[in-house]
């Protein structure tokens, strides 16, 4: 089977690059082994947190970063994903632990706070459901109280959830979200009865699994500010975003090989000729260009022994430091050097093998070396911007 481009990995980086290339009129196949980091998303995409610096030799230095940042919201809108936020400036969100965290782009259920101190002096009503363990109201409330917000917690018992509650293991965010697709307006009317003068309503991110319009409808139903706060994974806004990107990629003519895994690659004359997958066996996938978007350790895009960090599929150059003790900081909460290791590339994001670029193999997303220095805690921006940049490097001439 022959495509213009084959992408290894269907996470945020692979889908961004794939959709962009399809929109440019290329034929693209994405091979996607399994879950990706979007399933764990907070509902926000981080870009260059405060204090982040781009290393001088990093490919990002060559990018028109401001130009790409300005494209993010319209690009996601083309896939039916509504993002908010100022592309050039970070705002704040509330984490499931009740802390403030910087983020750049916000899915509909993660409305940015006007400022870091917006909730100080306010009264908040935190609403959850009896038996729902994926949303820790006590932690959230304690942390908000500590930073100056008065909090009251209410548990809303809806008969629609009785069947789920029969088995506590069913009370997960995604299952609750399925019920909420039908019962969300009941939540609105019940919460209205629970309010006792609060100015902020805090709800778990369990609304609008398929369509974020429900999130906006809930927000518009109240005079009070409504904050949707992340739950334990899987993440409802992350899954919805993944689904929309995949659907748009396929609607544009892309081929998404779900649940398949690239097992081997043939390289000849410094070019990748083809890759073979678990499901297709001897039927190799050929392409003019290949994108490695296989993620970091979490997704097995990078692996490690006690001696080395390596890229398992192509054996590409990885920028790990000598001596295992230099890979981590004993202070658990410090930035960990191993998060900065990854595949090295030239300025066009072409992956290096034994110091030389593989001429038609590009790397995007969290498999890239230096990603941690860029993200300082949040990597989605790296995935989006490198996904767009790699697609433009492969198809600069197309629309």
Ligand X SMILES: Cc1cc2nc3c(=O)[nH]c(=O)nc-3n(C[C@H](O)[C@H](O)[C@H](O)COP(=O)(O)OP(=O)(O)OC[C@H]3O[C@@H](n4cnc5c(N)ncnc54)[C@H](O)[C@@H]3O)c2cc1C
List residues near ligand X by CB under 6 A: 8-14, 31-38, 40-42, 44-46, 261-262, 293-295, 298-301, 313, 365-366, 378-380, 383
Q: Tell me the closest approach of the beta carbon of residue 68 to ligand X, in angstroms.
A: 15
Residue with tokens 């697709």: 181
Closest to ligand X by CB, 45 or 129: 45
Q: Tell me the closest approach of the beta carbon of residue 127 to ligand X, in angstroms.
A: 22
Closest to ligand X by CB, 37 or 388: 37
Closest CA to 364 of 347, 383, 346: 383
Whether residue 234 has a cis bond before it, omega within 30° of 0: yes
Closest to ligand X by CB, 125 or 375: 375
Q: Tell me the closest approach of the beta carbon of residue 262 to ligand X, in angstroms.
A: 4
Alpha carbon distance 127, 110 (integer Å): 16
Q: Tell me the closest approach of the beta carbon of residue 36 to ligand X, in angstroms.
A: 3
Q: Tell me the closest approach of the beta carbon of residue 308 to ligand X, in angstroms.
A: 18
Q: Where are the alpha helices (DSSP H) in the chain?
A: 12-23, 65-77, 137-146, 162-165, 173-194, 213-220, 236-251, 371-375, 380-394
Closest to ligand X by CB, 190 or 261: 261
- For residue 64, what are the contacts with CB-CB under 8 A and spacing of at least 6? none
Question: Residue 347 to residues 61, 172, 374, 386: CA-CA distances in angstroms?
Answer: 8, 43, 16, 11
SS (H, E, C) 99-153: CEEEECEEECCCCCECCCCCCCCCEEEEEECCCCCCCCHHHHHHHHHHCCCEEEE
Closest to ligand X by CB, 38 or 395: 38
Write down how long the chain is: 399
Q: Tell me the closest approach of the beta carbon of residue 295 to ligand X, in angstroms.
A: 2
Going by their DSSP bridges, the two strands 150-155 and 123-128 should be labelled as parallel
Closest to ligand X by CB, 7 or 171: 7
Going by their DSSP bridges, the two strands 100-103 and 91-94 should be labelled as antiparallel
- Sign of the four-CA dihedral 395, 77, 237, 69: positive
Alpha carbon distance 53, 55 (integer Å): 6
Closest to ligand X by CB, 218 or 374: 374
- For 74, counting Cβ atoms within 10 Å of its Cβ (0-12 exposed, 13-18 middle, 19+ buried), the class is exposed
Closest to ligand X by CB, 311 or 392: 311
Residue with tokens 């319209």: 74
Q: Tell me the closest approach of the beta carbon of residue 15 to ligand X, in angstroms.
A: 7
Count of Cβ atoms closer than 10 Å to residue 133 Cβ: 13
Residue with tokens 């919805």: 240
3 state SS of 30:
strand
Closest to ligand X by CB, 9 or 112: 9
Q: Tell me the closest approach of the beta carbon of residue 241 to ligand X, in angstroms.
A: 10
Closest to ligand X by CB, 10 or 357: 10
């Amino acid at each position: 089977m022959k495509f213009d481009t084959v992408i290894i990995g269907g996470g945020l980086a692979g889908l961004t690059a794939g959709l962009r290339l399809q929109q440019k009129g290329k034929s693209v196949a994405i091979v996607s082994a399994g879950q990706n980091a979007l399933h764990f998303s907070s509902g926000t995409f981080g870009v260059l947190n405060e204090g982040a610096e781009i290393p001088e030799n990093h490919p990002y230095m060559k990018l028109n970063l401001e130009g790409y940042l300005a494209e993010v919201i319209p690009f996601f809108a083309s896939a039916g994903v509504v993002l908010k936020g100022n592309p050039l400036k970070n705002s704040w969100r509330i984490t499931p632990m009740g802390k403030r965290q910087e983020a750049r782009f916000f899915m509909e259920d993660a409305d940015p706070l006007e400022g870091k101190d917006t909730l100080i002096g306010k009264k908040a009503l935190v609403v959850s459901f009896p038996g729902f363990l994926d949303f820790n109201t006590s932690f959230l409330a304690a942390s908000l109280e500590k930073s100056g917000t008065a909090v009251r917690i209410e548990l809303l018992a809806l008969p629609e959830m009785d069947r789920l509650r029969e088995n506590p293991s069913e009370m997960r965010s995604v299952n609750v979200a399925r019920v909420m697709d039908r019962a969300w307006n009941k939540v609105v009317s019940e919460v209205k009865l629970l309010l006792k003068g609060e100015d902020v309503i805090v709800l778990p991110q369990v609304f609008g699994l398929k369509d974020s319009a429900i999130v906006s409808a809930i927000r518009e139903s109240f005079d009070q500010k409504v904050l949707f706060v992340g739950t334990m994974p899987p993440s409802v806004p992350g899954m919805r975003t993944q689904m929309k990107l995949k659907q748009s990629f396929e609607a544009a003519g892309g081929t998404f090989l779900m649940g398949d895994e690239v097992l081997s690659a043939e390289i000849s004359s410094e070019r990748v000729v083809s890759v073979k997958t678990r499901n297709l066996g001897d039927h190799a996938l050929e392409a003019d260009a290949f994108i490695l978007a296989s993620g970091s350790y979490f997704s097995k895009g990078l692996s490690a022994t006690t001696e080395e960090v390596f890229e398992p599929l192509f054996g590409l150059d990885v920028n790990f430091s000598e001596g295992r003790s230099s890979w981590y900081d004993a202070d658990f909460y410090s930035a960990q050097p191993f998060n900065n290791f990854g595949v090295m590339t030239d300025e066009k994001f072409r992956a290096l093998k034994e110091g030389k670029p593989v001429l038609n193999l590009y790397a995007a997303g969290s498999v890239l070396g230096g990603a941690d220095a860029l993200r300082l805690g949040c990597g989605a921006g790296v995935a989006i911007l490198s996904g767009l940049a790699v697609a433009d490097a492969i198809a600069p001439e197309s629309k």
